[in-house]
């Protein structure tokens, strides 16, 4: 695997970002992988009501970063663990993890939202990333 092919994968995902049916399916895939984590919140998409231009999904209450002090350090720790797992183990990568797509819940969990820009990293590219480290 090489970085050029990974960049190409992200570029191809960008064109599918505005398809809400695809986004709902991405959310459900992400939920299957990370919804069971004790400190990560993944909203449930309502795929039966979602259409190409209408997305129906569970509301998540939380605050956008930046988070200060120990709360901020904990959110970064959770986010790094989740992102590393995406890149190196599962291959399903949330390619848009900015402060508008990450929330801190009242319980101190990291809520990940907006699944429009996702990438599937092939196993060979994941091994290539491991080789860079």
Cα–Cα distance for residue pair 22/37, rounded to 1 Å? 23
Q: Could you give the 3-state DSSP secondary structure of residue 91? A: coil
Residue 66, preceding bond cis, omega within 30 degrees?
Answer: yes
Name the DSSP class of 18.
Answer: T
pLDDT per residue as tens digits for the range 76-95: 999 999 999 999 999 999 99
Q: Could you give the 3-state DSSP secondary structure of residue 49? A: coil
Q: Could you give the 3-state DSSP secondary structure of residue 82? A: helix
Q: Could you give the 3-state DSSP secondary structure of residue 64? A: strand
Residue written as token pair 């599937």: 120
pLDDT per residue as tens digits for the range 101-124: 999 999 999 999 999 989 999 988
Do the beta carbons of residue 84 and residue 117 sit within 8 Å?
Answer: no
Predicted pLDDT of residue 8:
72
40-41/110-112 β-pairing? parallel
Q: Active-site residues: which are they?
A: 96
Closest by CA to 82, choosing from 36, 15, 132, 25, is: 36
pLDDT band at 18 (very low <50, low <70, confident <90, very high): confident
């Amino acid at each position: 695997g090489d970085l050029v092919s990974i960049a190409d994968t992200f570029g191809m995902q960008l064109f599918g970002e505005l398809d809400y049916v695809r986004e709902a399916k991405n959310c459900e895939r992400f939920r299957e992988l990370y919804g069971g984590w004790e400190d990560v919140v993944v909203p449930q998409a309502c795929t039966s009501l979602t259409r190409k231009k209408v997305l129906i999904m569970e509301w998540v209450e939380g605050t956008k970063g930046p988070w200060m002090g120990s709360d901020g350090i904990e959110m970064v720790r959770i986010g790094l663990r989740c992102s590393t797992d995406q890149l190196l183990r599962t291959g399903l990568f949330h390619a848009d993890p900015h402060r508008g797509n990450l929330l801190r819940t009242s319980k101190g969990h990291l809520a990940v939202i907006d699944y429009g820009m996702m990438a599937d990293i092939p196993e060979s590219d994941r091994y290539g990333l491991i080789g860079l480290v």
